[in-house]
Structure 1
């Protein structure tokens, strides 16, 4: 059973992920996936991917542009690279991608079917139907150009695909989940996000059943030519878009205080400070973890353990590892690498039956939630200003280069 779970409207944003970040995104994405599977199982990971707010937060915590269309391509690509060596161990496989890679999805599914035993033909049909629904049954002005198909060994799947509206300079992301879908043609989506943009033809709405039946009758009785004569009668039956989880990202590139729930940020900072770098290092048995890394780990822990409502402000998760375009600040390479190291160590120990390090991360997340109701801290602008100031000492890096080499340069307007 499959259902569309949500969607997101995102400003189109050009450019590529630099290799130094792409490599780290693949590593961090893979280890976060392993942590989720360890705690909650493969099905939960598929469900997380099918939620547009979580998906956006997942990309933001990995240092990708927090608001843009590129987060979809980069997250799918990072997971495809990072989970590739682990796919038979985890039982999670990533097919498709952007452009020509999306067209390879059927071939990839058939190869996986030979190795895993799932019904590759049925999954290929599902992949094609999902693409057809979002390109034909729902006509909203966005042309599909990306199709990511996540599937487990037992045949459950999530699809994340994206369309482009060049005139409006926007992209729209569609999420599907194989859980609880009763029909591909009647309200299959669990969510579609985005502002109204003119008239939308949605033949998947429950109220469009009469329209769908009428069109089939016309096709069988009148043929294609006769349908043209009946066009007006058919269009009168089209229905509106069902209400689904709705994520709309702003056009501005910089992270603003209005994009972040400051109360939750203060809870994260307070939990990191209360744990303390020394205490937390002892808990994780990984000496050298700094206070700044603990802050990032707290945000990563929330991505692993947080409930859906926790991700209403995806911009907050960009405060873990910055962004490649210097928004909210350059990627702190030292912190990013420490985060990956700590998580990899925790996952490796968990595989051996020792859960202490994974449990410590869970406690950090629990503590942040307890403290956010009472914690106080710096304003958002003060926090960002401090991170920019200390960026050279943390090996801050962006698409413009190393921050230590760029000190004093004015970037206003260059990357917005």
Structure 2
């Protein structure tokens, strides 16, 4: 599987005003519908999984060009925009911010019951992609938003975002199901950014031995693991481990180690799947693995960011409501023409680029 990119955005307060969000819903619905007609559902997923395209899409919808809120607001607009036409388009959206993210599996099952497909693969992809970015890639960003967009044919993309309050920065992660490779080894296609953090990265290619030995440790009797961790804490350690070691309290991990011992995971992916296995427990396993087997811990930071109608905060200019509404009308007309078989009328969409923004 591809993680197509990572975007780093400054944390901004506030939200889109109601008059703007209503327009964002209408325009995102029109754009999604037209893209499905002209380009196909798979291409929609590809573009949403591209952090550059997603950022540009947020600009088209009139949101802040670099705000952390673009993630939650744009995915929310898409979800509301597709509400009621998901079956017609064959494109489904589940998840969202905070509690809505936790409700993702239930939403997927609701779609499955209504439409008639097996939800298991989508629930698995949703759960494991979140576990990787929150637990297997420990970069200091805690997830608070998760959205999966998928088709009945089995394709999907995931857009999720974490927050680092110390850096006043949010980090957005994009996933795509095409060209499936691995959830746990170099799942990203391209990663680069200006902000780098000290990251414990279990998904790096160099961490293959660490993943392997971590699985071996998880299969050990928990009493033995606790003994080894206690030994480890007594050693004089390199500075790069100090923060991690201070987080480790062996007595707190007995239950999770007992759980991994009972489950006997066959590989690192199955280890990540164990309920209750969090970042600290995985670090403890990694440290014990390093002590017992000498496998190095990888601190390779994966992270990409960059990016019509104006912006919510008047950058580069205030949202032009008249132009915005005109764009929505043009899009709707193009969709109507396409639906009755007059595909050549899609040139209306291309004429949008010739509309000159009114700045005053």
* TM-score > 0.5, shorter chain as reference: yes
Match of 1:341 among 310, 316, 329: 329
CA change 1:364–1:71 in 2 (3 A) is: closer
Q: Aligned runs of 1:371-390 on 2, under 5 Å? A: 388=359, 390=360
Unaligned runs of 5+ in 1: 249-313, 315-319, 369-382, 391-416
- Tell me what 2:211 maps to: 212
Whether the 8 Å CA contact 1:118–1:154 is kept in 2: the answer is no
Stretch moving more, 214-223 or 81-90: 214-223
CA-CA distance at 1:387 after TM superposition: 5.0
- Tell me what 1:351 maps to: 339
Aligned length: 300
Is residue 2:325 matched to residue 1:326?
A: no
- Tell me what 1:9 maps to: 8
SS at match of 2:298: coil
Whether the 8 Å CA contact 2:196–2:301 is kept in 1: the answer is no
CA change 1:332–1:345 in 2 (3 A) is: same
Is residue 2:246 matched to residue 1:247?
A: no
Question: For 1:56 and 1:100, how far apart are their aligned partners in 2?
Answer: 24
CA change 1:334–1:243 in 2 (3 A) is: same
Stretch moving more, 202-211 or 225-234: 225-234
Stretch moving more, 60-69 or 114-123: 114-123
Is residue 2:290 matched to residue 1:234?
A: yes
SS at match of 1:323: coil
CA-CA distance at 1:3 after TM superposition: 2.0
CA-CA distance at 1:124 after TM superposition: 1.0
Question: For 2:153 and 2:289, how far apart are their aligned partners in 1?
Answer: 44
Whether the 8 Å CA contact 1:172–1:194 is kept in 2: the answer is no
1:178-209 CA-to-partner distances (Å, cap 9, x unmatched) read 11122211112234453343321110112211
SS at match of 2:84: helix
Whether the 8 Å CA contact 1:65–1:325 is kept in 2: the answer is yes
Unaligned runs of 5+ in 2: 233-286
CA change 1:227–1:163 in 2 (3 A) is: farther
- Tell me what 2:188 maps to: 189
Higher relative contact order (CA 8 A, sep 6+): 2
SS at match of 1:110: helix
CA-CA distance at 1:362 after TM superposition: 3.7
SS at match of 2:85: helix
- Tell me what 1:165 maps to: 164
CA-CA distance at 1:81 after TM superposition: 0.4
Q: TM-score, structure 1 length as denominator?
A: 0.68
- Tell me what 1:52 maps to: 51
Q: Aligned runs of 1:1-400 on 2, under 5 Å? A: 2-223=1-222, 224-226=225-227, 228=229, 229=231, 231=287, 234=290, 237-241=296-300, 246-247=304-305, 314=307, 320-362=308-350, 388=359, 390=360
Whether the 8 Å CA contact 1:187–1:242 is kept in 2: the answer is no
CA-CA distance at 1:357 after TM superposition: 2.6
RMSD: 2.3
CA-CA distance at 1:240 after TM superposition: 4.8
Q: TM-score, structure 2 length as denominator?
A: 0.78
SS at match of 2:7: strand
